[in-house]
Structure 1
Amino acid sequence: MAAIPGEGSVSITVGSGADARRIAVRLRPGSGPPLVWLGGFRSDMGATKAMTLDAWASREGRALVRFDYMGHGESGGRFADATISTWLADARAVIATYAAERPVLVGSSMGGWIACLVARELAREGASAPSGLVLIAPALDFTGSLMWERFTPEIRETIERDGAWMRPSPYDPNPVPITRALIADGRTHGLLDAPLDPGCPVHILQGMDDPDVPYTHALRVVERLPKAGTVLTLIADGDHRLSRPQDLARLLTAVAEISS
């Protein structure tokens, strides 16, 4: 394992041959279990919650690793060519290189799914579990339950026929390609049909006014987790982003408590 070498930007190559891509990483050295930011679908490591966590880590002297998945932010590769397996491999590579010693995984939306998948893979390998998970509107299994199952027959037909559907986004002026490969690959990573034990404490922050990941989805996640060590905070007027000052304060409190 390579320790965090110093504050700054680095990159690693994940995959080989035609699948090789450059993954951009930003490092903040410090003490304690390293924090790893796992961003959401189409988000990046410069987003509000990630930068708020970075500022907190700087003040507290905590080690922090941020990165962009393939096709996101500063990393290489085309978004439309990636799947959950791709982004999971990116996360595993970054964690193995810079935060292998029982990190605290902080995952937002899709990043919550990735965090849980990382924890499950570590358990299967007999490796040390993370120190804790802080999950913001965790979108476990979202390609199925929050996408495919919600799509109209016409949208499904377009994806099956054309290989992709360009989905309008309230967060991006450009439509988002939802590919047949993304949907199919997502089915291989389902977590909500069986018990899920990440081997560490979990704190979920969930807005009840979230139009993208309903709070009932967070309840399904909680049902799969062990009762001991699992905390769910519901924010009645919270949206999907949870980026208001009061939401960010809750995030930092949860991270401080779970990583102390």
Structure 2
Amino acid sequence: MAEVSYIDGPRGRLAYAYTEGELPCIVFLSGYRSDMDGTKAVHLEQWAESQGRAFLRLDYSGHGRSGGVFEDGCIGDWAADAALVIKHVVNGPLILVGSSMGGWIASILSKRLSQTVGFVGIAAAPDFTEEEFWAGFNEVERRQVMEEGHLEMPSLYEDPYWVTKKLIEDGREHLVLSTPLNMPWPVRLLQGTEDEAVARGTALKLLDHIKSDDMRLEFVKGADHRFSSPDCLTLIEDTVTEVAQRA
């Protein structure tokens, strides 16, 4: 595994691991409350190294090995963190691989990073603070978020966590499904049919919304939100390879 390095960010030190190799650089963007030591990120790093490809994984502030407090962060902060690390490390074309929330952040960065030449979304969750959190709250929960500043939410995988007023309000400033989303490069979307966090309709909505002449959506029957089975990991490898070849 690549050595973990750090740079100073506005909300604390930002951790990243970079593997040198052939460009375009593959940049893995992890999900909400996930980090760069997750199964997909580490697997892809090892695979990229075996292929001689450049690879970058990173932690947003409040996530994993980076500094900062998770509850203080929001989509805009985490997108800015990722952009800061990418600009610091990568000098050349890049392919954004976004898992869950990372798919939203990749969509935001695709508008900011001119060196982007490809996008792979894995159970991509654009606009989830509005489409999933806010839309799923009842009136009592909505008032609690706005008046008390946060709402405690149960987790399928870990301890309960807070959804904050800042997260909701900032998310509305970074919605990507309500504004044009031009991606003039290869785009591949991967989605499990048994995903308990991101509905199939979200993948279809993203497919219809992105403007790209080279775009495909592939459903994997039985795959859940983790999308980390051996077959899913192999599919991610093949998909990234295809995007790199067509970029």
Paired residues, number: 245
The counterpart of 1:10, out of the listed 5, 22, 27, is 5
CA distance in 1, matches of 2:75, 2:184: 22
CA distance in 2, matches of 1:100, 1:205: 27
Equivalent runs, 1:191-206 vs 2, <5 Å: 191-206=176-191
Query: Partner residue of 1:39?
Result: 30
Query: Partner residue of 2:197?
Result: 212
Quote how far apart the aligned CAs of 1:191 are.
Answer: 1.0
Quote how far apart the aligned CAs of 1:26 are.
Answer: 0.8
Query: Partner residue of 2:111?
Result: 120
Bigger shift: residues 222-231 or 243-252: 222-231
CA distance in 2, matches of 1:13, 1:88: 15
CA distance in 1, matches of 2:57, 2:244: 17
Alignment RMSD (CA, Å): 1.4
Counting aligned pairs with the same residue, the percent is 39
Equivalent runs, 1:104-183 vs 2, <5 Å: 104-122=95-113, 127-128=114-115, 130-172=116-158, 174-183=159-168
* Corresponding residue SS for 2:112: helix
User: Structure 1 residues 188, 134: closer, same or farther in 2, change over 3 A?
Assistant: same
Quote how far apart the aligned CAs of 1:194 are.
Answer: 3.1
Equivalent runs, 1:24-35 vs 2, <5 Å: 24-35=15-26
* Corresponding residue SS for 1:120: coil
* Corresponding residue SS for 2:24: strand
Deviations 1:15-67 (A, max 9, x none): 2xxxx410011111111211111000000101011111011011111111111
1:76 matched to 2:67? The reply is: yes
Q: List gaps (5 residues or longer) in structure 2.
A: none
CA distance in 1, matches of 2:180, 2:103: 16
The question of whether the paired residues in 2 share the 8 Å contact of 1:71 and 1:82 is answered with yes
The question of whether the paired residues in 2 share the 8 Å contact of 1:84 and 1:182 is answered with yes
Equivalent runs, 1:40-59 vs 2, <5 Å: 40-59=31-50
Quote how far apart the aligned CAs of 1:168 are.
Answer: 0.9
Quote how far apart the aligned CAs of 1:236 are.
Answer: 2.2
Moved over 2 A (4+): none
CA distance in 2, matches of 1:252, 1:215: 22
Q: List gaps (5 residues or longer) in structure 1.
A: 1-5
CA distance in 1, matches of 2:233, 2:2: 23
CA distance in 1, matches of 2:96, 2:197: 22
Amino acid of the residue matched to residue 204 of structure 2?
A: L
Deviations 1:197-237 (A, max 9, x none): 12321100011211211010110001111251111001121
* Corresponding residue SS for 2:205: helix
Query: Partner residue of 2:12?
Result: 21
TM-score scaled by structure 2? 0.95
TM-score scaled by structure 1? 0.91
